Amino acid sequence: MLAAGTRIVGKWTASNLTVERALGKGANGEVYLVRGPQGLAAMKVCDQPQDIALEWGVLGGIRPTPSFFPKPILMDDSDAPKLYFYLMEWVVGQPLSELVADLKESSLYELMSQVLQGLEELHQAGYAFCDVKAQNIIVAMKPGLKVRFVDAGGVTRFGRSVRQFTPFSDRAYWGMGTRRAEPSYDLVAFALMLICAYVIPPPQLTQWPVQERKRWLAKALRGFPEAAYIPFLQAILSNSFTDAASCLIALRRTRQAVRPAGRKAKRQKRAQGRDWTEWVMWFSLGTTAVVTSIALGSLLHVFG
Amino acid sequence: MGVKELRDKQATIRQLLIITDGCSNVGEDPVTAATQARQKTVVVNVIGIVDKGDLGKQGRSEAMSIAEAGGGMCRLVQAADLAATAQMMTHQTMQMTLQQVVNQQLLQVVGKTTEDLPPAERTKVMQLMDKLEEEVCLELVVALDTSASMREKMPLVQEAVRDLTLSLQAREGDSRVAVVAFPGNHDEMVRVVQPFSDQLDLSALESVWTARGGTPTGPAISFATRLFDELGRPNRTDNDEDSGWTDVSLQS
């Protein structure tokens, strides 16, 4: 771990950097917030120079550049301390794992929709994310909900085998498909991520046979808090979608079924109308009663 | 600067993965056997399971010596981490083997290793190596310790082998996996659970059960080395004995 205040001089770019604080730990290295000549940036440090080189190749080499991943700034080494690193845009927000429990249905929909858009963009370039999990999805809530991806270490060209994965978001671990980089690999991971964000898998799951893992998952899916999305998630898990775009269309349809915007507005209007009629009714009844009692009173007064 | 192309013809990486929780006590010396395996271009990796076993101080140091003699890696882990460790070791040793070859070639051609290259050039070399790792032919023998103390860990061992095979099947290059158990049934020291195949026979794997007898790690290593020989292609030329790698050339 690098302490705050550590100064780093890039061997090849002569950049002067100062470590501000640690941001997190990835599968193969650490990420720090550093101050450099162009202000604050995130610095990924790996023990293995090949990991730095390959991740840099993903962030800076894929065309068109995937906008959901941090923008690459520079790659360098330092001799003291001995480091292999690259600098990238600092993505501000909270990991999906930390905020998903508090999301309203509308925010959840927006979040799912953006993640799928990000996947679609990456898939268009011929690559799969291969490490779609709640810790790698960063969400900013202000000014509006905005989703970004971090940790490009797993990004793999379509057709190749997936090397960096997390068991709970790996469809092969759940006995639901191959470990090959293709759009459906990411989509299944997307559904697994959402289900496991609400119901955390027990650690001993790994020791269970595949059939029992599937049973656990089916139960977790039945308990998904937004019940309307259960059939949609189920369809993803059975590898029904071959690309993120068609998955996105299915998501929009599901949403329309949940909240039929037009009809709902009409129903509300009618409800308000009924309220008003009721008010008029009680008002007239009340008035009648008052008028009647006054009349009755004066009558009695006259005769009395 | 021109590291442009890695040419690859029938290149094969051979690995032996030993999963054990004890110390060898039958037959030949495992470190000698591992040295001989390495001479036949087989990289030997060892995973020592530390929980509830008899992998004492002696077992740990033996595991490390075997890996060192076999040019591979040694990891001491809990049984629950077996699957992830087996994946990681197979991947890293393939990477290591390729890197040795590429570094050797780079030194010959430009007098530099990959680490001496400027980062942008390094990325290109690493991307080529990554592609090569995906496409190269892999031959892997998994040798499972089936002595009595392994009984409780067997489900996790089977799961690790199944999981590793899932990853290997997804590769673009050919992968052939064989599984052997030591000790075998009755009097045999080593038993073939599954001969070299690109598919894993799950029922064969489930039939692996603990046996009576000692821990013949040395004989298992020699046995596995012979399995590679039997698989060997007649037209193969072994010109680079230390790297576990044949017939690769790097053009500048």
Cβ contacts (< 8 Å) between B172 and chain A: which residues? Answer: 159-161
Report the C-alpha gap between A154 and A84 in whole angstroms: 18
Q: Find the residue in A nearest to B123 (Cα).
A: A53
Which of residues A287 and B77 earns the better pLDDT score? Answer: B77
Contact assignment for B95 to A50 by CB distance below 8 Å: yes
B113 band by pLDDT with thresholds 50, 70 and 90: confident
The answer, as to whether pTM is greater than 0.90, is no
pLDDT tens readout for residues A62-79: 988 899 999 999 999 999
Beta bridge partners of A25: A30
Domain annotation for chain B: domains and CATH numbers = 11-90+138-234 (3.40.50.410)
In angstroms and rounded to an integer, the radius of gyration of the C-alpha atoms of chain B is: 18
Q: What is the pLDDT of residue B56?
A: 82
Domain annotation for chain A: domains and CATH numbers = 7-88 (3.30.200.20), 94-260 (1.10.510.10)
Lowest mean pLDDT among A86-100, A274-288, B62-76, B185-199: A274-288
Range A179-207 average pLDDT:
94
Contact assignment for A75 to B156 by CB distance below 8 Å: no
- Please, which residues 176-195 of chain A have a Cβ atom closer than 8 Å to chain B? 178-180
Residues with Cβ within 8 Å of A219's Cβ and at least 6 positions away in sequence, in order, are none
Verify whether residue A151 is a known catalytic residue: no
Q: What is the pLDDT of residue B248?
A: 41
Contact assignment for B91 to A163 by CB distance below 8 Å: yes
A-interface mutation test, from B123, B128, B169, most A Cβ less than 10 A away: B123
Report the C-alpha gap between A67 and A174 in whole angstroms: 30
Range B161-180 average pLDDT:
94
Contact A138, A147 (CB under 8 A): yes
Q: What is the pLDDT of residue B4?
A: 36
**Residue B203 contacts A where some CB pair is shorter than 8 Å:** no
Residues with Cβ within 8 Å of B54's Cβ and at least 6 positions away in sequence, in order, are B21, B22, B23, B149
Token output for A290: 């008052």
A-interface mutation test, from B117, B126, B200, B202, most A Cβ less than 10 A away: B126
The mean pLDDT value of chain A amounts to 89
Peptide bond into A209 cis (omega under 30): no
Cβ contacts (< 8 Å) between B120 and chain A: which residues? Answer: 75
Q: What is the pLDDT of residue A206?
A: 84
A112 band by pLDDT with thresholds 50, 70 and 90: very high
- To the nearest whole Å, the CA of B187 is away from the closest chain A CA by 32
Q: Find the residue in B nearest to A52 (Cα).
A: B123
DSSP character string of B224-238:
HHHHHHHH--TT---
Nearest beta carbon to residue B170 from set A50, A180, A203: A180
Token output for A285: 């009844």
Residues with Cβ within 8 Å of B251's Cβ and at least 6 positions away in sequence, in order, are B4, B5, B6, B7
**Residue A208 contacts B where some CB pair is shorter than 8 Å:** no
ipTM above 0.90, yes or no: no
A257, pLDDT greater than 90? no
Nearest beta carbon to residue B170 from set A49, A52, A179: A179
Share of chain B above pLDDT 90, in %: 56
**Residue B119 contacts A where some CB pair is shorter than 8 Å:** yes
Q: Which among A51, A77, A102, A131 is annotated as catalytic?
A: A131
In angstroms and rounded to an integer, the radius of gyration of the C-alpha atoms of chain A is: 29
Report the C-alpha gap between B109 and B95 in whole angstroms: 21
* Contacts A–B by Cβ distance under 8 A: 74
B220 band by pLDDT with thresholds 50, 70 and 90: very high
**Residue B199 contacts A where some CB pair is shorter than 8 Å:** no
Share of chain A above pLDDT 70, in %: 90
Report the C-alpha gap between B75 and B46 in whole angstroms: 7
Q: What is the pLDDT of residue A292?
A: 75
Report the C-alpha gap between A167 and B81 in whole angstroms: 11
Residue A181, SS3 per DSSP: coil
- Amino acid (one-letter) located at A177: G
Report the C-alpha gap between B85 and B77 in whole angstroms: 8
B1 band by pLDDT with thresholds 50, 70 and 90: very low
